[in-house]
């Protein structure tokens, strides 16, 4: 695995890519710091990071787009398949390399609150907790980006698709506010979500029975609960989307709260997406 | 060392391989010969664990490629049809990466990489980016990758594809050299190439292993009896009577009879001898031969007929079985 990490880092930093990514993120960190902390005079570095999290929408897809799609395009995945290494090692190795590239600008940003504190009051504790959360948010998004890049051999499509997914994660909870909050609407929306999940399952595994069972189970359980007590369905869909949204989870930190549930959530998202990335590669061999 | 049992591969509905089996125990160069789309690459991908088989199994050095992939893959070096190179690395970096992934001891990586670069003649370009190398050099970087970790089995999928004649000769020499202490399985759709460098040839067509044997045996199998055509100033009956007395000819067949002439076609093992006998037989009978010609099918043509339209010269199933079991 160390070998894979070394190779990936070599590829990131040999070309311009690793530097470019770090430079752009730092540039925005600088702009937002000047804007939020210096011009507007806020004492909280959290606000800066909070604003910056928007940049992830564009930067993370660029960071992860080529990771697996390029292997497929250049047929180097055949080398990886024929080497005596586990696919999980390949995926985790690549992921760790991505985290390392992400960590460089984040660590440099860690100096900003210290610098700012020389010129005024800065709440350092919340600033650093937020910086960790900021990194975790990036890490969770990167695991999704890595998964998306395993689906296609075209970098641009991988980037575009990740961007679309992130955009949905970013605005998703706002959009659900526009949906009717009645119990029946929530039930319908949740069943629709179940169907979408089953469809994704079918595309990934090609197993129609598993997909059908997912839909059936989803419909039966939801209708059963709905008939027992439809009150809990009121506004449920937007609450579910809100609690699943990575960005909503991150905003909790901006209020200066160290939310361990969110940390666990970020880590679960990472593990889940790395897991299905390995399976997505494995499937290529079995198709 | 390499045992392939009844490989079957189907994509959705279309079967690509219909049960390929063979076993290789000794070092040497083994050539997979077949037209494009015959299933050579698919077979190789399955042997190396890049692709799963629908049925059947592959055992390398006692390890099943699916059940114990790590042990099995350590014994194989594989060069796919398109060399799997990282374009933004130098050959030296690339080879170091592969060596480490194959589990070569850290202290030995340098030595092994340098040795394999020396053997494939890429030392002069070791620090150039792979994307700037010529096709021949890229191919050689691919071949030197297969040598790392000192695998017993080396599998090369069309190693000479797209190279110029000089490069082809060099790669062939290298393959022959490596075959002395490795099991080399290489594929090609060029018959002369396989014949020239293999110790054993396996012909694959339409997902089936048709023949496996030494190149000489293959030649024997493919060589068809030459066909002799004659035309004589005689009636069909007269000519048939005379031909019946000649030894060493078979499959006598009347082509046409008209205006006191008749034409026949037959096959003979030894063309020269048979032609002489026919000539004297007609001369003794006082009948004139106006045509006496023969036509031999080249090995290449026979191979093409064998692999493309298998019904044109359909190998007798019993005979096929015999050849397979003899060498299997």
Residue B322 confidence (pLDDT): 38
Half-sphere exposure of B252 (CA within 13 A, CB side): 19
For CA atoms B100, B105, B106, B110, the dihedral sign is negative
Residues of B whose CB is below 8 A from A86? 70
With a cut of 90, say whether residue A99 has pLDDT above it.
Answer: yes
pLDDT in tens, A80-94: 999 999 899 999 999
Percent of chain A with pLDDT over 70: 99
The SS3 assignment for B181 reads coil
Residue A222 maps to a domain: no
**Number of domains into which chain A is organized:** 1
Hey, how many other C-beta atoms are within 10 angstroms of the C-beta on B81? Answer: 18
Distance CA B166, CA B162 (A): 12
* CA distance between the termini of chain B: 13
Residue A197 maps to a domain: no
Question: Which distant-in-sequence residues (6+ apart) come within 8 Å of A121 by Cβ?
Answer: A43
Measured in degrees and rounded to the nearest 5, phi and psi for residue B25 equal: -120, -30
pLDDT in tens, A187-200: 888 888 888 888 88
Cα B209 to chain centroid distance, Å, stands at 10
Residues of A whose CB is below 8 A from B101? 3-4, 83-85
Would you state the structure tokens that stand for residue B52, as one six-digit string? 């799963």
Question: Which distant-in-sequence residues (6+ apart) come within 8 Å of A226 by Cβ?
Answer: A183, A187, A233
Q: Mutate which of A16, A67, A70, A84 to disrupt the B interface (most B C-beta within 10 Å)?
A: A84
- Cβ separation A78–B50 shorter than 8 A: yes
Residue A234 maps to a domain: no
- Cβ separation A76–B86 shorter than 8 A: yes
**Cα radius of gyration (chain B):** 26
Residue A175 maps to a domain: no
Residues of A whose CB is below 8 A from B154? none
Q: Mutate which of A3, A17, A82, A287 to disrupt the B interface (most B C-beta within 10 Å)?
A: A82
pLDDT in tens, A232-264: 777 777 777 777 788 888 888 877 778 888 899
Rounded to an integer, the average pLDDT of A28-57 is 87
DSSP conformational letter for B226: P
Domain of A7? 2-170+249-286
Distance CA A147, CA A65 (A): 9
Measured in degrees and rounded to the nearest 5, phi and psi for residue A275 equal: -60, -50
DSSP labels, A103-165: HHHHHHHTHHHHHHHTSS---HHHHHHHHHHHHHHHHHHHHHHHHHHTT-S-HHHHHHHHHHH
Quote the minimal CA–CA distance from B78 to chain A in Å: 7
In chain A, where does DSSP find H-type helix? Answer: 2-14, 17-32, 45-52, 56-73, 76-82, 87-109, 111-117, 124-149, 155-176, 183-205, 208-228, 236-244, 246-254, 260-286
B284 vs A34, A278, B280, CA distance in Å? 116, 83, 6
Residue A213 maps to a domain: no
- Cβ separation B84–A74 shorter than 8 A: yes
Residue B210 confidence (pLDDT): 83
Question: Which distant-in-sequence residues (6+ apart) come within 8 Å of B50 by Cβ?
Answer: A78, A81, A82, A285, B78, B80
Residue A278 maps to a domain: yes
Digit-by-digit pLDDT tens for chain B (328 residues) are: 889 988 888 887 778 888 889 999 889 999 988 888 888 889 999 999 888 888 899 999 989 998 898 889 999 999 998 999 999 899 999 999 999 999 899 999 999 999 999 988 899 999 999 999 988 899 999 999 999 988 999 999 998 887 888 888 888 888 998 899 999 999 988 888 888 888 988 988 888 888 888 888 877 777 767 788 889 888 888 888 888 888 888 888 888 888 888 998 888 877 788 888 889 998 998 888 888 887 777 777 777 777 765 443 334 444 443 344 334 3
Is B82 in the A-facing interface, judged by CB distances under 8 Å?
yes
Would you state the structure tokens that stand for residue B264, as one six-digit string? 């026949």
Residue A266 confidence (pLDDT): 92
Q: Which residue of B has its CA nearest to A75?
A: B84
Q: Which residue of A has its CA nearest to B86?
A: A76
Distance CA B2, CA B22 (A): 8
* Residue A190 contacts residue A237 (beta carbons within 8 Å): yes
Residue A275 confidence (pLDDT): 92
Residue A135 maps to a domain: yes
Enumerate domains of chain B plus CATH numbers.
2-214 (3.40.50.300), 227-295 (3.30.70.250)
Residue A60 maps to a domain: yes
Is B87 in the A-facing interface, judged by CB distances under 8 Å?
yes
Distance CA A265, CA A268 (A): 5
Hey, how many other C-beta atoms are within 10 angstroms of the C-beta on B166? Answer: 9
* CA distance between the termini of chain A: 26
Residue A101 confidence (pLDDT): 95
């Amino acid at each position: 695995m160390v070998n894979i990490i070394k190779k990936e880092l070599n590829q990131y930093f040999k070309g311009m890519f690793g530097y470019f990514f770090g430079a752009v993120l730092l540039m925005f960190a600088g702009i937002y710091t000047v804007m939020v902390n210096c011009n507007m005079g806020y004492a909280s570095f959290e606000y800066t990071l909070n604003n910056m999290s928007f940049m992830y929408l564009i930067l993370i897809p660029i960071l992860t787009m080529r990771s697996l799609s390029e292997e497929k395009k250049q047929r180097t995945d055949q080398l990886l398949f024929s080497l005596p290494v586990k696919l999980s090692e390949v995926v985790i190795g690549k992921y760790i390399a991505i985290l390392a590239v992400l960590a460089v600008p984040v660590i440099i940003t860690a100096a900003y609150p210290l610098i700012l504190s020389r010129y005024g009051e800065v709440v350092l504790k919340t600033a650093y907790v937020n910086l960790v959360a900021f990194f975790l948010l990036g890490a969770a998004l990167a695991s999704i980006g890595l998964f998306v890049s395993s689906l296609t051999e075209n970098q641009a499509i991988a980037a575009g698709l990740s961007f679309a997914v992130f955009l949905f994660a970013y605005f998703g909870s706002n959009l659900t506010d526009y949906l009717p909050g009645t119990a029946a609407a929530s039930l319908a929306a949740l069943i629709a979500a179940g169907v979408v999940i089953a469809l994704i399952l079918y595309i990934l595994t090609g197993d129609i029975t598993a997909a059908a069972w997912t839909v059936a189970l989803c419909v039966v359980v939801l209708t059963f609960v709905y008939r027992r007590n439809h009150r809990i369905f009121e506004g449920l869909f937007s609450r579910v989307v809100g609690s699943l949204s990575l960005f909503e989870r991150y905003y909790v930190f901006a209020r200066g709260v160290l939310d361990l549930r969110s940390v666990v959530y970020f880590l679960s998202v990472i593990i889940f997406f790395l897991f299905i990335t390995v399976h997505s590669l494995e499937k290529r061999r079995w198709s | 060392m390499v045992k392939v049992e009844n490989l079957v591969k189907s994509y959705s509905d279309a079967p690509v391989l219909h049960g390929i089996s063979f076993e290789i125990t000794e070092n040497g160069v083994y050539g997979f010969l077949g037209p494009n789309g015959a299933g050579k690459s698919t077979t190789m991908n399955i042997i190396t664990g890049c692709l799963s088989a629908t049925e059947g199994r592959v055992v390398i050095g006692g390890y099943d490629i699916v059940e114990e992939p790590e042990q099995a893959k350590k014994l194989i070096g594989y060069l796919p049809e398109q060399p799997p190179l990282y374009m933004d690395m130098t050959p030296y970096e690339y080879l170091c990466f592969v060596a480490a992934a194959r589990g070569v001891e850290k202290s030995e990586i340098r030595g092994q990489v340098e040795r394999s670069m020396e053997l494939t003649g890429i030392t002069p370009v070791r620090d150039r980016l792979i994307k700037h190398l010529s096709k021949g050099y890229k191919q050689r970087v691919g071949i030197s990758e297969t040598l790392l970790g000192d695998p017993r089995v080396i599998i090369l999928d069309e190693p000479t594809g797209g190279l110029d004649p000089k490069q082809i000769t060099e790669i062939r020499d290298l393959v022959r050299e490596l075959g002395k202490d490795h099991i080399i399985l290489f594929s090609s759709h060029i018959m002369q190439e396989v014949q020239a460098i293999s110790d054993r040839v396996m012909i694959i067509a339409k997902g089936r292993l048709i023949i496996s044997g030494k190149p000489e045996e293959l030649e024997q199998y493919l060589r068809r009896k030459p066909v002799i055509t004659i035309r004589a100033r005689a009636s069909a009956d007269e000519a048939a009577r005379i031909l019946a007395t000649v030894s060493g000819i078979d499959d006598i067949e009347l082509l046409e009879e008209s205006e006191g002439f008749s034409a026949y076609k037959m096959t003979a093992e030894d063309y020269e001898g048979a032609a002489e006998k026919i000539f004297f037989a007609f001369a003794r009978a006082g009948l004139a031969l106006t045509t006496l010609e023969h036509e031999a099918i080249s090995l290449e043509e026979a191979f093409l007929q064998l692999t493309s339209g298998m019904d044109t010269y359909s190998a007798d199933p019993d005979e096929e079985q015999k050849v397979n079991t003899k060498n299997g």
